[in-house]
């Protein structure tokens, strides 16, 4: 084997020396392949060295392709070379880089970068490379005779080395001192390219430099900024801007020294005459604002003022935009020529004028401040927004687009942080789903002085300016203008009523330009369609219906267009338009008014659907649009209904369009305006084919088919032919034969219930369905909505056919006996609960069925050798029956049940409490005193509370009013108990009582917040937590002024109180965010305090020969981080992200479960606030690295391995998400690069993230419609 390898290598050496370049190229390619297969390991060391020298010689080859392949080959070989060989490679390449030949110098520079890219980031080889490479490079840079090209290449390689191997030089103080001395000297080079490379090298060294070196760098910058040398000032301001990216923390501490000087330079006389200097200052400020947000705070107002001033800096143009008249005159509004309406981007030209760079830089600075300073929104909307609007008609296109994008970012920030419903709380309306009341003001209500009110006051100026930019001659400006319009409409929820005429008129002109354009201009149509979609959605028809004569033909023409994207957007706009024109609230009044338009849209949709070149997506979206048209305007399209219905039935037979057709039919038959015999006949004909789809493998189709089936039965249930009803039963029945389809059970039983209610298919249901249902009740999976739908179905069937009760009871009896013999207690408990509720439904519908059940139960209770399972089940039965049966006359039954409080089985005791509580529902006056007495018995107090909970849960409002007055005070006495279970149940009972009369009981509860007993305070806040599931607006109004005082218990001295307080805060954040959103400045500090481990909660516990430290505060801390995560979804706009992110980073150093939560928050932040979280990426490197370096012990269990893997996966997910943010964090970049190279798990997470992102894009595109 070794001999063959040696022979092959010698053959390669011969080819490398061939005069034919192709042979040399192929030899290098073959060598790479051999190296990747590991074949070179068996070759003699001497031969390997000869081979390596030959490859290095080929770097100097005359053929460019051979040179490039030799560099690639070096990158492959270096992975397996020893230190001596790596030293040879570096020495040779450094020698080449000092050559006078440009090509050799360039390829050597590329070779060094390639080789460094393959050396491990940490290890001896990296240090060896530093010892060998860096001094040589520094020597070349400091050589006075070195050429400019050599300096450029050497600095380039040096910067690349510093970026890749920070750990190799971080502790080498002499090397750093020499490096900073040499590079700072290069900053004064006469050639700009050398200075630029020197800046990059300094910025790469700075993050890892020792304090002495960074101090020297700072002093050098300070001296340069104070000098009068213009070039020196420029280069050092640029350096500061780059240091803000790479060393934001270190630079931030020195900003008080540098910022006043930068601001002075920006406004100096020297800068007034030098626009390039101003631009450089603005670029530096942009980086400082983005990467040093906390440290730059004292200077932000000054930066904003200067940026607003420079945004208007246009000394070489005297046009100005001082008045509407001037704006009109400039763009030719009022003239007869249509072309005059377009902004002329070529009306002024001066090649020497670079003032536009200053204006663009000012806009970028403002954009950075807008993105990172949400707390300044009132200032930004009042001071910056008008200035931005005044520059919408800026003459320079790049500046104009930057201004438009900056204003769009401002609108998005106001939407997110400006006290309007945030994006995470508001679901987009689907086409036609008009979830607003036009009778109320459709516009957002804004308080005076708020950011929203400031934007609303700019509406006239915005409409005027945007009406000009939407007809700009450049496509990017038009696109940016429509983005601004889109964000404005979404923010204001319309609000452009009085300006619609102007905007629509200009949009018509923009359409003329788009229709005659090709290439990028075609995307204008798509943006216009999106704008029209929002315009229709958020405005009443009377504000735009006068323009429909022009808009509807355009929409119709787009629908029939060949371009897929435009066609799909056209479908969406058509659906939205008809939903607005014929909204249910005004449908009757507008019948026939818009018939011409609906017919025009209908014709276009049908033409497009019938074309043979329509793909699946177009057909699906077209069917959706057609269904909206018929559902909202079916009365205007009566003569077209047969053709449309025939097409939908035809689409049902096509597998690719079946789902869309089913949804369309569902919407149509649910319509109140699409009526008549034709519709009813269509509905009847649709039942059978849709019923066949309920057993398809496609889950989405099955769910949609059940929705459609139920809609059809609601529409024509009484007129469904018996044979069709039986066919529906036959299709549904197989789904009921086993519990694997339990998730579909509610939909299936709803359809069967509708058949029963309409007297259809009852015989088939009794003979085929009931046996399967009675088998399903034995499944422990029958819970929640599935169980509720089963009970509702049985009730409907028993009401329609009481005779079926006898076989049902027999089957239930059989199931009860079977379950009582089950060994699995969980299975038995769940099935017993299900069976008891089924018995209750039978007894409620057929009263005569209850007497035998009660008699049998009494005999079981008095039977001495009765099994616990029997007793337990019959107690549940009595409890279910007691809710609608008065057992007060049967005193012996109650006594028998009460006696079971002393049973040996805990399950029996619990069931007895369940029965007692429900018996009290049947007769409150008789049984409540007994429960009250037991509440004060220490032995039975917990069971009495369980009984009380049942009574409160199922009692009527009148009963609860009586109950509250009698047990309010006793409940507090019980909650003073040390038993946490008693306190929790007591708190839940208090919560239910509070909701009966919140005005009375909230104030009483509030008075106990300062009770000296921690258990009482804990019960108070726990009760508040349980009330937060209530959806009453009245309760919110009463709780809102008190919520902060209740949640102030987060800072209680007792851990016993802080735990339920944190649960309450989490519940409020999840269920009632509006209650706490405006109080987060008070509540968040208390929350953050609980995310910090407390030493006083650590205690040592002896476990045999070992001592284990237990953290009593861990559960509370986990809950605090869970609450932080919840707040991201519901109160993001009111969170100070700097403080929030710091606590998230601290969580990465905590317990493993908290690390996972922190990783989830980082993923969310990467999506919600990419700019802000990118500022802190280097801070997360150390805690993540520490976690990833932890190695499991050899004796680790499988569970430990799984937990460790899941923790690593969560950290990698966070890293992948954060890597997509706009960052320049060298430490984080090194961490990601190392993870990609060394971890297969990271690569898997990255790949799955990419797949998920693509899926989300598709969903987002659908939601946009």
pLDDT in tens, 1104-1137: 777 777 888 899 999 999 999 999 988 888 888 8
In this structure, the answer to whether residues 991 and 1115 fall within a common structural domain is yes
Nearest residue to 239 via CA among 190, 297, 280? 280
Give the mean model confidence (pLDDT) for residues 1067-1090: 92
Q: Determine the average pLDDT of the residues in 39-56.
A: 79
Q: Let me know whether 996 and 1099 are in one domain.
A: yes
When pLDDT is cut at 50, 70 and 90, the band that residue 341 belongs to is very low
> Mean per-residue pLDDT for 373-398?
91
Count of other CB atoms within 10 angstroms of residue 1153:
17
Specify the pLDDT at position 1116. Answer: 93
Q: How confident is the model at residue 1 (pLDDT cuts 50, 70, 90)?
A: very low
CATH code of 9's domain: 1.25.10.10
Please give the residue that has the higher pLDDT: either 132 or 424.
Answer: 132
Residues 1155 and 1265 placed together within one structural domain of the fold: yes
The kind and range of the H/E element at 796 are helix 784-800
Residues 172 and 197 in one domain: yes
Query: Does the structure show a pLDDT above 90 at 643?
Result: yes
pLDDT of 1036 > 90? The answer is no
pLDDT (0 to 100) of residue 435: 36
Q: Are 1147 and 1240 within one domain?
A: yes
Nearest to 597 by CA among 641, 647, 541: 541
Note whether residue 775 is domain-resident.
Answer: no
3-state secondary structure at position 118: helix
Q: What percent of the chain has pLDDT over 70?
A: 91
Tokens of 912: 């007895």
Quote the distance between the C-alpha of residue 622 and its chain's center. 29
State residue 966's pLDDT score.
83
Residue 987 has pLDDT above 50, yes or no: yes
Going by pLDDT thresholds of 50, 70 and 90, the confidence category of residue 404 is very high
Q: Residue 577: what pLDDT?
A: 93
Report whether pLDDT(434) > 50: no
Domain identity same for 29 and 163: no
pLDDT of residue 325: 40
Whether the Cβ atoms of residue 589 and residue 633 lie closer than 8 Å to each other: no
Least confident of 162-176, 424-438, 761-775, 888-902: 424-438
Same-domain check for residues 31 and 160: no
Mention every residue, 6+ apart, whose C-beta is less than 8 A from residue 474: 345, 397
CB 706 within 8 A of CB 681: no
pLDDT band at residue 861 under the 50/70/90 scheme:
confident
Residue 971 forms part of a structural domain:
no
The answer to whether the predicted template modeling score (pTM) of the entire model surpasses 0.85 is no
Query: Is the pLDDT reported for residue 281 higher than 90?
Result: yes
Residues 1257 and 1147 placed together within one structural domain of the fold:
yes
Domain finish residue from 69, 100, 118: 118
Domain boundary (207, 235, 256) is at 207
For residue 1146, give the 3-state DSSP assignment.
helix
Token digits for 1224?
A: 């320049």
* Nearest of 455, 427, 433 to residue 443 by alpha carbon: 455
CA nearest 536: which of 465, 481, 588, 594?
Answer: 594
Largest CA distance in the chain: 115
- Supply the pLDDT for residue 442: 36
Q: Which of 118, 148, 180 is the last residue of a domain?
A: 118
How many Cβ atoms sit within 10 Å of the Cβ of residue 268? 15
pLDDT of residue 5: 57
- Rounded Cα–Cα distance for residues 690 and 687 (Å): 5
Clarify whether residues 1100 and 1221 are in a common domain. no
Side-chain-facing half-sphere of 12: CA atoms under 13 Å: 29
Task: Please report whether residue 594 resides in a domain.
Answer: yes
- Asked whether residue 979 is assigned to any structural domain, the reply reads no
Looking at residue 351, its pLDDT comes to: 56
User: Residue 1256 above 70 pLDDT?
Assistant: no
Q: Is 1143 a member of any domain? A: yes
State residue 687's pLDDT score: 92
Predicted local distance difference test score (pLDDT) of residue 326: 39
Q: How many domains is the chain partitioned into structurally?
A: 5
Q: How confident is the model at residue 661 (pLDDT cuts 50, 70, 90)?
A: very high
Q: Per mean pLDDT, which range of 98-102, 164-168, 434-438 is the poorest? A: 434-438
Q: Which residue has the higher pLDDT, 515 or 1240?
A: 1240
Per-residue pLDDT band at 321 (split at 50, 70, 90) = very low
Residue 663 lies in a domain: yes
Q: Please say if the pLDDT value at position 424 is more than 50.
A: no
Does residue 1183 register a pLDDT over 90?
A: yes
Q: Which of 302-306, 542-546, 818-822, 916-920 has the lowest mean pLDDT?
A: 818-822
Quote the pLDDT of residue 429.
37
Q: 59 with 96: CB under 8 angstroms? A: yes
Residue 178 placed within a domain = yes
Q: b/e string for 723-735 if b means 16 or more Cβ within 10 A?
A: ebbbbbbebbbeb
> What residue numbers bound the domain in which 624 lies?
540-670
Give the model's confidence band at 1150: pLDDT under 50 very low, under 70 low, under 90 confident, else very high: very high
Q: How far apart are CA 844 and CA 798, in angstroms?
A: 10
Residue 929: C-alpha distances to residues 309, 923, 948, 1097 (Å): 79, 11, 11, 43
Q: What is the DSSP string of 594-612?
A: THHHHHHHHHHHHHHHH-T
With respect to residue 762, please indicate whether it lies within any of the assigned structural domains. Answer: no
Q: How far is CA 245 from CA 155, 280, 1005, 1177, 1181, in A?
A: 19, 15, 53, 11, 16
Rg (CA), the chain: 38
Rounded CA gap, 203 and 162, in Å? 9
pLDDT tier at 789, thresholds 50, 70, 90? very high
pLDDT in tens, 64-83: 898 889 888 888 888 777 77
Co-location of 1002 and 1021 in the same domain: yes
Q: What percent of the chain has pLDDT over 90?
A: 33
Task: Say if residues 652 and 639 touch (Cβ distance below 8 Å).
Answer: no
Judgement on whether residues 556 and 637 belong to the same structural domain of the protein: yes
pLDDT of residue 978: 67
919 SS3 class: helix
Same structural domain, 61 and 174:
no
């Amino acid at each position: 084997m070794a001999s063959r390898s040696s022979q092959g290598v010698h053959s390669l050496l011969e080819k490398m020396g061939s005069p034919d370049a192709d042979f040399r190229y192929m030899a290098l390619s073959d060598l790479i392949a051999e190296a990747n297969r590991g074949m070179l390991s068996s070759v003699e060391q001497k031969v390997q060295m000869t081979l390596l020298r030959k490859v290095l010689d080929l770097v100097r080859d005359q053929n460019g392709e051979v040179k490039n392949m030799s560099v690639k080959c070096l990158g492959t070989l270096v992975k397996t070379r020893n230190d001596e060989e790596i030293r040879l490679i570096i020495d040779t390449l450094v020698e080449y880089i000092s050559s006078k030949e440009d090509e050799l110098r360039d390829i050597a520079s590329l070779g060094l970068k390639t080789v460094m890219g393959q050396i491990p980031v940490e290890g001896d080889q990296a240090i060896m490379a530093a010892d060998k490479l860096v001094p040589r490079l520094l020597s070349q840079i400091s050589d006075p005779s070195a050429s400019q090209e050599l300096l450029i290449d050497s600095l380039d390689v040096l910067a690349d080395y510093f970026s890749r191997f920070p750990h190799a030089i971080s502790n080498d103080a002499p090397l750093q001192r020499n490096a900073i001395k040499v590079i700072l000297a290069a900053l004064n080079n006469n050639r700009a390219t050398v200075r630029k490379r020197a800046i990059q090298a300094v910025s790469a060294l700075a993050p890892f430099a020792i304090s002495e070196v960074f101090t020297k760098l700072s002093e050098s910058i300070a001296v340069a900024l104070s000098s009068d040398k213009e070039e020196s000032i420029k280069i050092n301001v640029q350096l500061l801007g780059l240091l803000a990216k790479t060393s934001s923390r270190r630079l931030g501490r020195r900003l008080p020294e540098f910022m006043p000087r930068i601001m002075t330079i920006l406004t100096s006389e020297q800068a007034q005459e030098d626009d390039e200097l101003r631009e450089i200052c603005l670029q530096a400020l942009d980086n400082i604002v983005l990467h040093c947000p906390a440290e730059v705070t004292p200077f932000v107002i000054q930066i904003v003022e200067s940026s607003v001033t420079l945004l208007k800096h246009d000394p070489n143009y005297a046009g100005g935009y001082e008045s509407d008249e001037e704006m009109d005159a400039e763009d030719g509004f009022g003239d007869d020529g249509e072309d005059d309406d377009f902004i002329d981007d070529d009306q002024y030209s001066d090649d020497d004028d670079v003032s536009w760079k200053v204006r663009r830089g000012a806009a970028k600075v403002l954009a950075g401040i807008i993105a990172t300073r949400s707390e300044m929104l009132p200032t930004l909307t009042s001071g910056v927004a008008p200035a931005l609007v005044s520059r919408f008609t800026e003459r320079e296109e790049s500046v104009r687009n930057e201004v438009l994008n900056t204003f769009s970012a401002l609108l998005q920030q106001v939407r997110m942080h400006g006290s309007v419903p945030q994006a995470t709380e508001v679901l987009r309306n689907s086409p036609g789903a008009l979830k607003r009341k036009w009778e109320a003001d459709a516009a957002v209500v804004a308080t005076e002085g708020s950011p929203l009110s400031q934007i609303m006051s700019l509406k006239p100026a915005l409409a005027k300016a945007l009406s000009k930019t939407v007809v700009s001659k450049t496509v990017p400006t038009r696109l940016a203008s429509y983005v601004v319009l889109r964000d404005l409409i979404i923010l204001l929820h319309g609000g452009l009523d009085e300006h619609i005429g102007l905007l629509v008129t200009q949009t018509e002109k923009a359409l003329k330009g788009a229709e005659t354009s090709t290439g990028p201009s075609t995307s204008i149509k798509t943006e216009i369609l999106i704008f029209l979609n929002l315009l229709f959605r958020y405005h009443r028809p009377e504000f735009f219906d006068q323009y429909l004569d022009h808009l509807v033909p355009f929409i119709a023409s787009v629908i029939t267009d060949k371009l897929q994207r435009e066609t799909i957007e056209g479908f969406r706009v058509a659906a939205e338009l008809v939903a607005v024109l014929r909204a249910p609230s005004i449908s009757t009044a507008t019948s026939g008014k818009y018939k011409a338009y609906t017919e025009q849209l209908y014709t276009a949709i049908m033409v497009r659907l019938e074309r043979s070149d329509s793909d699946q997506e177009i057909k699906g979206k077209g069917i959706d649009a057609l269904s909206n048209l018929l559902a909202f305007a079916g009365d205007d399209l009566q003569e077209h209904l047969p053709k449309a219905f025939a097409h939908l039935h035809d689409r049902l037979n096509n597998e690719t369009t079946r789902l869309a057709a089913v949804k369309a039919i569902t919407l149509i038959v649910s319509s109140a305006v699409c009526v008549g015999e034709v519709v009813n006949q269509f509905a009847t004909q649709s039942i059978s084919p849709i019923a066949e789809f309920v057993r398809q493998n496609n889950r989405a189709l099955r769910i949609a088919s059940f929705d459609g089936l139920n809609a059809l039965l609601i529409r024509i249930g009484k007129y469904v032919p018996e044979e069709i009803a039986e066919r529906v039963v036959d299709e549904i029945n197989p789904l009921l034969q086993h519990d694997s389809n339990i998730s579909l059970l509610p939909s299936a039983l709803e359809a069967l219930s509708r058949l029963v209610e309409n007297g259809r298919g009852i015989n088939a249901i009794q003979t085929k369905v009931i046996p399967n249902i009675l088998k399903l009740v034995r499944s422990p999976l029958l819970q929640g909505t599935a169980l509720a739908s089963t009970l509702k179905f049985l009730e409907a069937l028993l009401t329609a056919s009481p005779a079926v009760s006898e076989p049902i009871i027999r089957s239930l009896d059989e199931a009860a006996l079977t379950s009582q013999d089950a060994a699995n207690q969980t299975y038995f408990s769940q099935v017993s609960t299900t069976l008891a509720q089924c018995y209750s439904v039978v007894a409620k519908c057929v009263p005569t069925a209850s007497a035998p059940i009660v008699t049998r139960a009494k005999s079981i209770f008095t039977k001495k050798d009765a099994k616990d399972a029997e007793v337990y089940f019959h107690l549940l039965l009595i409890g279910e029956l007691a809710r609608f049966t008065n057992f007060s006359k049967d005193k012996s039954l109650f006594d028998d049940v009460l006696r079971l409080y002393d049973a040996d089985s805990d399950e029996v005791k619990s069931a007895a409490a369940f029965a007692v509580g429900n018996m009290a529902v049947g007769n409150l006056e008789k049984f409540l005193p007994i429960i009250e007495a037991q509440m004060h018995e220490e032995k039975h107090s917990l069971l009495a509370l369980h009984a009380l909970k049942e009574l409160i849960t199922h009692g009527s409002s009148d009963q609860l009013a009586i109950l509250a007055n009698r047990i309010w005070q006793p409940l507090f006495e019980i909650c003073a108990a040390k038993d946490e279970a008693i306190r929790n149940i007591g708190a839940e009972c208090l919560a239910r009582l509070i909701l009966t009369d919140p005005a009375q009981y909230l104030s009483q509860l509030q008075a106990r917040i300062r009770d000296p007993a921690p258990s009482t305070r804990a019960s108070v806040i726990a009760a508040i937590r349980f009330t937060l599931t209530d959806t009453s607006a009245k309760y919110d109004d009463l709780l809102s002024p008190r919520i902060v005082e209740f949640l102030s218990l987060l800072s209680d001295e007792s851990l016993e109180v802080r735990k339920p307080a944190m649960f309450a805060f989490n519940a409020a954040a999840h269920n009632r965010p509006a209650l706490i959103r405006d109080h987060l400045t008070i509540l968040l500090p208390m929350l953050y305090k609980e995310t910090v481990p407390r030493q006083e909660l650590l205690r040592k516990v002896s476990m045999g020969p070992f001592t284990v430290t237990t953290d009593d505060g861990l559960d509370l801390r986990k809950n605090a981080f869970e609450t932080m995560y919840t707040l991201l979804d519901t109160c993001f706009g009111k969170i100070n992200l700097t403080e929030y992110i710091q606590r998230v980073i601290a969580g990465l150093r905590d317990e493993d479960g908290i690390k996972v939560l922190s990783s989830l928050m980082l993923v969310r932040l990467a999506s919600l606030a990419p700019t802000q979280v990118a500022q802190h990426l280097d801070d997360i490197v150390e805690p993540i690295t520490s976690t990833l370096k932890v190695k499991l012990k050899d004796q680790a269990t499988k569970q430990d391995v799984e937990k460790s893997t899941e923790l690593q996966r969560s950290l990698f997910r966070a890293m992948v998400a954060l890597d997509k943010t706009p960052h320049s964090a060298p430490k984080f970049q090194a961490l990601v690069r190392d993870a990609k190279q060394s971890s297969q798990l990271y690569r898997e997470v990255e790949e799955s993230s990419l797949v998920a992102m693509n899926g989300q894009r598709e969903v987002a595109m659908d939601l946009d419609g």
